[in-house]
Amino acid sequence: RPLRCYIPKNPSQYRVWYIVTSCYFEYLMFFLIMLNTLCLGMQHCNQSDHVTKLSDTLNLIFTVLFTVEMILKLMAFKVRGYFGDPWNVFDFIIVIGSVVDVILSEVDTALESSGG
């Protein structure tokens, strides 16, 4: 929960705020974090190409979902309100790192498949 009580006056912003501050949304995000942690924990050295491909696909899906969460919270709290909560700052750093990881992985895969 944010450190300060903030309720938007704009109706469309309020709808997004109402969703991201709901218990259901919090539980959904907690579930996704646990599921992502489980998927990351199942990775191991010398895993088959099939498992690696599945792992990469799941990483992409979770990155997209967490990016959507970040965007919704930025819409709900605006920049100042979003970054006023240390947990959101932490989430932002993790999500940006994940997005960079996905992009670099895709570039690496494209370079390998093109022979360069």
Closest CA to 31 of 71, 76, 66, 77: 66
pLDDT at position 114 over 90: no
Judge whether 74 and 2 are in contact, CB under 8 Å.
no
d(C-alpha 116, C-alpha 81), whole Å: 45
pLDDT of residue 3 exceeding 60: no
pLDDT tens track for 91-105: 999 999 999 999 999
Average model confidence (pLDDT) across the chain: 93
Over residues 3-20, mean pLDDT: 88
> Does residue 4 carry a pLDDT above 70?
no
Residue 66 CB neighbours (<10 A):
19
- Domains of the chain plus CATH, in order, are 11-113 (1.20.120.350)
Residue 101: CB atoms within 10 Å: 13
User: Model's pTM, two decimal places?
Assistant: 0.89
What's the pLDDT at 113? Answer: 83
Query: What is the pLDDT, as a whole number, of residue 66?
Result: 99
Q: What is the pLDDT of residue 116?
A: 63
Mean pLDDT of 69-97: 96
pLDDT, tens digit, 9 for 90 and up, residues 24-43: 999 999 999 999 999 999 99
Q: Which two tokens mark 75? A: 């819409």
Question: What number is the average pLDDT over the span 71-96?
Answer: 96
